A = this chain, B = another copy of it.
Amino acid sequence: MATIKDIARECGVSANTVSSVLNNKPGEVSAQTRERVLAAVRRLGYRPNAAARRMVGKRMNTIGIADRFIENTQPNAYKAQILEPLTHAARTLRWDVLYYAGHVTGGGFTAFLDGRSDGLISFTGWIDPIEVNAILASSTPVVFIGDTESDQAEHRASIIDVDNEAGAYLGVSHLTGLGHRRIGMLQGPGISGNRDRVAGFRRAMREAGVADNDAYPYPSTDWTLSGYYTAIEVLRLPRSERPTALFCFNDALALSVLHAAAELGISVPDELSVVGFDDLIPSALSSPPLTTVRQPLADIGRRAVEILVAIMDGDLPRDYREIVAPDLIVRSSTAAPAL
């Protein structure tokens, strides 16, 4: 690869003249020299070395997306729906995007806190709290998507998240409004947001005058296999005992419930109402189409970039947070309970 010295030699100028041309320093280089340098740059296919630029304190102009690949083969619609608008926003603001997927061992993506990117956007729910703290300790500007369990993040990082409590309240109120009384909640794993969604669930139940029955928030460790098995277990209860409606931590879980219900010959929404959370694209096409609490995922992705850039530019405080409002999308997986 050609270096700045090669260009300089080629043009009979010094390296810093080349640098001035490349960095568009105003009025420092004559138009003639400038042209000569640019021609040589094209001719030799010169490309400034990113590592060297970073060394002298320049930005990489790169945003890192910190994530951890999950060992499943299901494309994750939730992330995809955030990632696309996020990347688009970065492009618009002229920032490059680097998607980091580190080793599960060896500190995961925290290995990337080494100057390769200027700031980070992190999918909190997928990040180990230890790694969250490592990010914070590195003092890399960061925006978390989704609330974090880390107390430290509370004051030292920016967070964008949907109003989880309000969203759950919306979804469960829809069910109580339909006349449901026995409502179960399939909880998510211990990732951010679950606690608040459980709180919203309880508030809606309370306001509807339903006894705050501890039995119904079923625990669940994830939304692939164990979610499905939990659903099967719940749905195998005799009809007089089983909930007439299930509020699910997310759409993936709700889709598992639909699947489980179909297998057990339980008709949705006639015998069981199901409400999800997220509004993934596939949820509109399920059988039946899913009633769900929509997160404005595209807005979240876009805003994450805008906030991070603003923080790096010093236009927003490092602990800036933004909570976006959810919507209820009523489709065909919910109905009044059968008598």
Q: Which residues of A contact B (CB under 8 A)?
A: 1, 45, 47-52, 54-55, 65, 69, 71-77, 80-81, 83-85, 87-88, 91, 94, 96-104, 106, 111-116, 137-139, 281-282, 298
Contact = CB atoms under 8 A, between A and B. Distances in A.
Contacts of A81: 73, 75
A50 B97 CA distance: 17
Contact of A84 (B72, B100, B104): B72
20 contacts: A1-B115, A1-B138, A1-B139, A45-B137, A49-B115, A50-B114, A51-B55, A51-B114, A69-B87, A69-B88, A72-B84, A73-B281, A75-B76, A75-B77, A80-B80, A96-B100, A96-B103, A98-B98, A99-B99, A282-B282
A51 to B, nearest CB: 4
A318 B97 CA distance: 28
**Residue of A47, A102, A112 with most chain B CB atoms under a 10 A cut-off:** A47
Nearest to A48: B114
**Residue of A54, A111, A137 with most chain B CB atoms under a 10 A cut-off:** A54
A86 to B, nearest CB: 10
B69 A281 contact: no
Copy number of this protein in the oligomer?
Answer: 2
A210 B147 CA distance: 61
Contacts of A98: 98-100, 116
A111 B61 CA distance: 11
Contacts of A139: 1
A80 B84 contact: no
A94 B103 contact: yes
A108 to B, nearest CB: 10
A34 to B, nearest CB: 20
Contacts of A100: 96-99
A139 B44 CA distance: 13
Contacts of A1: 115, 138-139
A51 B298 contact: no
**Residue of A45, A75, A112, A298 with most chain B CB atoms under a 10 A cut-off:** A75
A113 B55 contact: no
Nearest to A298: B73
Contacts of A54: 51
Contacts of A281: 73-75
